[in-house]
Amino acid sequence: MKTTIVRAVFPRRKRVLITSDLHGHADDFQKLLDKVHFSADDILVIVGDLLEKGPQSLKLMRMVMRLKEQYTVYALMGNVDLWRLEFLESEDPQKQRDMLDYSLRAMEWWGGSLLHEMAAELGESLSPDTDITALFPRIRRHFAPEMDFLRAMPTILDTPHYLFVHGGIPHERLSELEGTDPYPLLKFDDFYHTDLSFSKYVVVGHWPAVLYSKTYPDFRPIIDAKRRIIFLDGACGVKREGQINLLMLPDGQSEDFTLVTQEHLPVIEALEDQAPSPEDQAVYIRWSDRWVTVLERGDEMSTVRYHGKTLSVPTQFLGQDDQGDYCRDATDYLLPVRRGERLYLILALQHGCFVKKDSIAGWYRGRYNMITEVDEP
């Protein structure tokens, strides 16, 4: 696989819809397209990662294949898409076994995997005893159109005003990137913390923008006008409280962004007002820097020390790895809430509800009514 570049000039007066990291969430993506009234008058750019971390990878891939036939759609390669393609193409029994093991774990985490969906269509169900070497050739025959689609996904989409790539680029000399190994461009981790800046907007997914938040977890895209980079990934699939971010432009020359999001969480209605805690004092324990000192472990909430600050976190967020105790994404931030407002519920505890409002996660400690449960998957 080599880096490929598609060049396009977006016609004037066509809306441009940009999204990324849909990760096996076909139904949520459909809801998002309905929300923005997606039509033949629009251009849709998907900046990589259709597959895995959700139960509808095959369904989503086929949905995008169909959309591409009817509409102007650019679907770029993501690191997870390339990873899956390479495994599916592999004759190596160990790689096939690894894909099976990953998929069995993925079933527990995400309720499915690409391999589960493919096997199911062939009348097979996956288990540790699945004859995976026999299954792979059947998959390659039956899903040849899907694999052709994956193989043909470009690495970079270059337009006069915007450049799109899943992870990042080290510089703008595209002729030097063309034909090289695409993997570093797809899996350009932590692209924000480089000193790179560009002449046109470079739009990337891959690394959840929330991990760049300073005080509380903010899932909105980061639009860095100075460095000309847009970080789009809403952490859909990667985190339970993740979302799909879609940026809408009136046309391909505009910088007038509108954000539309799709959540995958139950909804509650707040019955009381709540004043926010001071933003600059809020603490956000991010996954990329998650190690804490546990001071007191309670049934529901525990007290931890994190970078010199003490805060309460849900005990179920605590875990251990080879670097010690950690806490998954948590904050002590109290959101500003008004009676009657709708909030997305992440976790309901005696201590209060860990919720999202306008793409920001924090606590609401008042009374509430349940409005909707989440639709599965």
State in angstroms the smallest separation of the CB of 184 from Mn ion.
Answer: 15
Contact range with Mn ion by CB under 5 A, out of 16-24, 32-40, 66-74, 304-312: 16-24
Nearer to Mn ion, 49 or 341 (CB): 49
Nearer to Mn ion, 20 or 130 (CB): 20
Cα 337 to Cα 348: distance, rounded to the nearest angstrom = 16
State in angstroms the smallest separation of the CB of 211 from Mn ion.
Answer: 12
Which residues neighbour 335 within 8 Å (Cβ) at sequence distance 6 or greater?
274, 276, 343, 355, 357, 360, 362, 363, 364
Nearer to Mn ion, 21 or 28 (CB): 21
State in angstroms the smallest separation of the CB of 218 from Mn ion.
Answer: 18
Nearer to Mn ion, 188 or 363 (CB): 188
Cα 263 to Cα 261: distance, rounded to the nearest angstrom = 7
Instruction: Give residue number: closest CB to Mn ion.
Output: 49
Q: Is 81 in the site for Mn ion (CB under 5 A)?
A: no
Nearer to Mn ion, 49 or 332 (CB): 49
State in angstroms the smallest separation of the CB of 188 from Mn ion.
Answer: 12
Asked if 229 and 201 touch (Cβ cutoff 8 Å), the reply is yes
Query: In which element (H, E) is residue 114 found?
Result: helix 114-121
Q: Which residues pair with 354 in a beta bridge?
A: 347, 363
State in angstroms the smallest separation of the CB of 325 from Mn ion.
Answer: 27
State in angstroms the smallest separation of the CB of 377 from Mn ion.
Answer: 18
Binding mask 113-142 for Mn ion (x = CB under 5 A): ------------------------------
Cα 10 to Cα 328: distance, rounded to the nearest angstrom = 41
How many CB atoms lie under 10 A from the CB of residue 368?
Answer: 22
List binders of Mn ion among 17-76 (CB under 5 A).
21, 49
Token pair of 249 as six digits = 């432009």
Nearer to Mn ion, 75 or 292 (CB): 75
State in angstroms the smallest separation of the CB of 58 from Mn ion.
Answer: 17
Cα dihedral 263, 264, 269, 275 sign: negative
List binders of Mn ion among 249-288 (CB under 5 A).
none
Asked if 222 and 235 touch (Cβ cutoff 8 Å), the reply is no
List binders of Mn ion among 217-236 (CB under 5 A).
none
Transcribe 205-260 into DSSP letters.
-SS-GGGG-SSS-B-SPEEETTTTEEE---BBTTBTT-EEEEEEESSTT----EEE
Query: In which element (H, E) is residue 99 found?
Result: helix 93-110
Token pair of 68 as six digits = 């591409």
Nearer to Mn ion, 233 or 332 (CB): 233
Residues contacting Mn ion: total by CB under 5 A = 2
List binders of Mn ion among 323-342 (CB under 5 A).
none
Asked if 231 and 255 touch (Cβ cutoff 8 Å), the reply is no
Contact range with Mn ion by CB under 5 A, out of 13-21, 90-98, 250-258, 321-329: 13-21
Binding mask 152-191 for Mn ion (x = CB under 5 A): ----------------------------------------
State in angstroms the smallest separation of the CB of 230 from Mn ion.
Answer: 15
Cα 345 to Cα 313: distance, rounded to the nearest angstrom = 16
Instruction: By CB under 5 A, name the binding residues for Mn ion.
Output: 21, 49
